[in-house]
Amino acid sequence: MRAISVRRGHPLLTTALKINPQSPIDHLLAMFADWGGLLQYYLAMGVDLSKLIERIPKAELHLHIEGTLEPELMLALAQRNQIELPYADVDEIRRAYEFSDLQSFLDIYYAGAAVLITEQDYYDLTWAYLERAASDNVRHVEIFFDPQTHTDRGISFATVIYGIYRALQDGETNLNITFRLIMCFLRHLSADDAMNTLEEALPHKSCIHAVGLDSSEVGHPPSKFVAVFDRAREEGFLTVAHAGEEGPPEYIWEALDLLKVERIDHGVRAIEDAKLVARLVDEKMPLTVCPLSNLKLRVFNTLEEHNLKELLDAGLCVTINSDDPAYFGGYIGENFRQSQRALGLSAEDIYLLAKNAFIASFISDGDKKRYIQELEMAMK
């Protein structure tokens, strides 16, 4: 069976069609499909790629470890640490996860983080994510952590990082998942606060590969953090930044020119600026796109309207990621599956998205080659 990719989904199409490349009639259909985007979409929609999605090796590059806290673990940690939650049971927490906007998401997000106290809590949180990632055949992760969410509550930097790092090391040994750790600054806090956090991180430099920028984007442009990022690069860290999720394309320009980032996290609003798209293509700048997150936070009203396929067709190095999966309705496999169905992604698109993630990762060229070979084997 062959899937043909198309630019955009069409809501009126509901029936599935499959084509066989050996069949002359189907071949004719495919030719028509090449002329008509609607039929192309129709054909791609009919192909079930869930098995392919399940078996391909994946890299996840945009994942906040605090955003993987499932209600069951939140409750267990609250009991272990004798913390009173404003929720009586798992069902009530799950209902609170049905937030309606960014603020209601942040409320539950920070309430959840408050149950993380000991090094073992951070270990358990990270380990639970890695087990889920392994079940999605994730082979490499580059995870974010937000030290300020914890140090501001009096938790030591060492407690946070040792718990996370030890789980990542165990994940490499026991689950065969390689990793990089990225420290994010909360952009709604001051640049001085970020600089202090960077200073605090320096004794643990060997555990941290890169620094990033997350939290509420609008009103907190990358330009606010130039000095921190300059210092971070001097210290040998690579840099990434959330930009162009809710914020305008200008924030992406700033992330590139002022913060000298290696990747843009989200970046979906780049499409509004043709010059920017041309530059991103030219520089092969990766975008770590998070479809279900964008849906839940209303960056797009429906997944069918998401511009992931458009960005991919424009030649951008697009990757699929889960962002805060406990809160946004799905881990990386689910992001792939739902995007494939909603946008009619072809097998070639799936291959490209998975390959882009390995290319965009911070591993060695040798490891990239090895993972891409693994991916190619899985496509057969």
Catalytic residues: 245
Query: How far is residue 52's CA from residue 21's CA, in Å, rounded to a whole number?
Result: 19
The residue among 58 and 368 lying less far from Zn ion, judged by its C-beta, is 58
The residue among 246 and 323 lying less far from Zn ion, judged by its C-beta, is 323
Q: How far is the CB of 120 from Zn ion (least distance, A)?
A: 25
The residue among 264 and 276 lying less far from Zn ion, judged by its C-beta, is 264
Find the helix or strand (DSSP H, E) in which 236 lies.
none
Establish how many alpha carbons lie within 13 A of residue 163's alpha carbon, considering only the half-sphere containing its beta carbon: 24
Find the helix or strand (DSSP H, E) in which 223 lies.
none
The residue number whose beta carbon is nearest to Zn ion equals 323
Query: How far is residue 29's CA from residue 21's CA, in Å, rounded to a whole number?
Result: 10
Residues 148-207 binding Zn ion (CB under 5 A) are none
The residue among 177 and 264 lying less far from Zn ion, judged by its C-beta, is 264
Which pair of structure tokens corresponds to residue 2?
A: 């062959």
Beta bridge partners of 59: 140
The residue among 39 and 164 lying less far from Zn ion, judged by its C-beta, is 164
Class of residue 202 by CB neighbours under 10 A (exposed 0-12, middle 13-18, buried 19+): exposed
Which pair of structure tokens corresponds to residue 14?
A: 């509901």
The residue among 26 and 323 lying less far from Zn ion, judged by its C-beta, is 323
Q: How far is the CB of 97 from Zn ion (least distance, A)?
A: 17
Q: Does 146 bind Zn ion (CB under 5 A)?
A: no
Q: Does 323 bind Zn ion (CB under 5 A)?
A: yes
Report residue 256: phi and psi, to 5°.
-70, -50
Q: How far is the CB of 302 from Zn ion (least distance, A)?
A: 21
Tell me the site size for Zn ion, rule CB under 5 A.
Answer: 1
Which pair of structure tokens corresponds to residue 67?
A: 């955003």
DSSP state, residue 170:
H
Contact 139, 58 (CB under 8 A): yes
Residue whose tokens read 């989904």? 9
* Three-class SS state of 91: helix
Which amino acid is it at 172?
Answer: E
Q: How far is the CB of 265 from Zn ion (least distance, A)?
A: 6
Beta bridge partners of 264: 241, 287
Q: Does 66 bind Zn ion (CB under 5 A)?
A: no
Q: How far is the CB of 64 from Zn ion (least distance, A)?
A: 6
Choices 109-117, 169-177, 321-329, 359-367; region in contact with Zn ion by CB under 5 A: 321-329
* Three-class SS state of 375: helix
Contact 353, 319 (CB under 8 A): yes
User: Which residues of this chain interact with Zn ion, rule CB under 5 A?
Assistant: 323
